Amino acid sequence: MPAAPATRTYQIAAIPADGVGAEVVAAGRAVLDALAAGSNGAFALAWTEFPWGCGYYEKTGRMMAEDALAVLQPFDAIYFGAVGWPTVPDHVSLWGLRLTIAQNFDQWANVRPVHFHPGVLSPLRKADGTRLDWVVVRENSEGEYAGLGGRNLSGRGPGNEVAVQTVLFTEKGCERIIRFAFELARARPVRKVSSVTKSNAQQYAMVLWDETFARVAQDYPDVTTEAVLVDAMAAKFVLKPEDLSVVVASNLMADILSDLGSALAGSLGLAASANYNPERRFPSMFEPVHGSAPDIAGQGIANPIGAILSGALMLDHLGLHEEATRLHKAVDATTGSGVLTRDIGGTAGTSQVVAAIIENLAP
């Protein structure tokens, strides 16, 4: 009798953090564990959960442990919830946890698919009859989130303070994310990359991006391209989304556009994302696009699909492609059968959606 293949166990660091982050990470873990349990020993996930976030900050004055980066480094991947709570200023919580991990682990490519699910009503009328599916690729290491600047002159008295926030665009940073977008486009049914800037108004940094895009595009003659200003792209998301395949943009612009995309697909609660360190020098991080949603936290009604599909992106990253596809199918079967949370017009709670997805994982 042939020996059963050895189970490959992946070490995953879970950081649920705040608000609905804890609920959707628990939901995602339950679904991923069910998938692993049904994999006939093909893979297993060994979870280590970290208590970092705003509650940790209130006790310790830090958003995460001092040696957190060294602790996280050996993991195969990080599964993140959401950070932020009204008791801690948002810039403190975001910089103290999520941005510190993303920047120090050089997770420079943030991929945010916009996926339209069966059974979920989109505010776009044309979504009923048109196949819509695109992905936002966000530069995740510099741009408007480089953290450069300062506040000064408060000594001049009230009303006279000055703040400077500088964007940082490097040719290397632009080139690597633009190349990433082209490579992704080559793996999609429609080979097209739309580059987004505001280079008419921002004549230095964004012109460098535009020029880099034009140069890199020459290496991909099989991929169609367009360069669109961000205001026009916001309109295009609504009016001509069938024209999109891969949309690549700076840190801030892609952040805003991907929220618009997920709202068009039905809810912020549906959107998944991956923060990749493509060179695999550091673990990549998988998280829903949404925040900690203090307005609905603790009620058991958060939509877990964004977190669960972030788990599918994690499986793909670990090389478990068939398992990722199975998970996508189970989610679509669940929405298609009308098991929906309130944000997408249903009445189901988080746990009912999780139970339905697990049931739909069965072959």
Ligand X SMILES: NC(=O)c1ccc[n+]([C@@H]2O[C@H](COP(=O)([O-])OP(=O)(O)OC[C@H]3O[C@@H](n4cnc5c(N)ncnc54)[C@H](O)[C@@H]3O)[C@@H](O)[C@H]2O)c1
Interacting positions 163-222 with ligand X (CB under 6 A): none
**Closest to 327 in 3D by CA, of 45, 15, 5:** 45
- 269 sits near ligand X (criterion: CB under 6 A): yes
84 is a site residue for ligand X (CB under 6 A): yes
# residues near ligand X by CB under 6 A? 22
324 near ligand X, judged by CB under 6 A: no
Return phi, psi of residue 311, to 5°: -65, -35
Residue among 83, 314, 340, 354 that touches ligand X (CB under 6 A): 83
Site for ligand X in 87-116 (CB under 6 A): 90, 94, 98
Asked whether 238 and 275 are in contact (CB, 8 A), the reply is no
Nearest approach, Cβ of residue 61 and ligand X (Å): 18
Q: Which is nearer to ligand X, 43 or 145 (CB)?
A: 145
Q: Are 138 and 258 in contact (CB under 8 A)?
A: yes
User: Of 1, 295, 362, 363, which lies in the binding site for ligand X, with binding defined by CB under 6 A?
Assistant: 295
Give the span between the Cα atoms of 23 and 302, in whole angstroms.
7
Number of residues that make up the chain:
363
CB 327 within 8 A of CB 315: yes
**Beta carbons within 8 Å of 99's beta carbon, 6+ residues apart:** 145, 147
290 binds ligand X (CB under 6 A): yes
Pick 81 or 209: Cβ nearer ligand X: 81
> Coil, strand or helix: which one is 289?
coil
Angle between helices 305-317 and 321-336 (to 10 degrees): 160
- Exactly one of 82, 265, 339, 354 binds ligand X (CB under 6 A); that residue is 82
Cβ atoms of 102 and 140 closer than 8 Å:
yes
| Single residue of 15, 205, 268, 356 touching ligand X by CB under 6 A | 268
Smallest separation (angstroms) from ligand X to the CB of 139: 16
CB of 185 to ligand X, least distance (A): 25
Q: Which residues are catalytic?
A: 145, 198, 231, 255, 259
Asked if residue 334 binds ligand X (CB under 6 A), the reply is no
Verify binding: residue 302, ligand X, rule CB under 6 A: yes
Residues 17-76 that bind ligand X (CB under 6 A): 20, 24
- Specify the residue, 138 or 326, whose C-beta has the smaller distance to ligand X: 138
Give me the residue whose beta carbon is nearest to ligand X: 84
Q: What CA–CA distances, in Å, run from 177 to 59, 168, 321? A: 38, 14, 23
> Is the CB of 20 or the CB of 177 nearer to ligand X?
20
Candidates 19, 161, 185; CA nearest to 86 is: 19
Closest CA to 239 of 258, 264, 221, 214: 264
Residue 292 touching ligand X (CB under 6 A): yes
What are the residues binding ligand X (CB under 6 A)? 20, 24, 82-84, 90, 94, 98, 268-269, 287, 290-296, 302-303, 306, 343
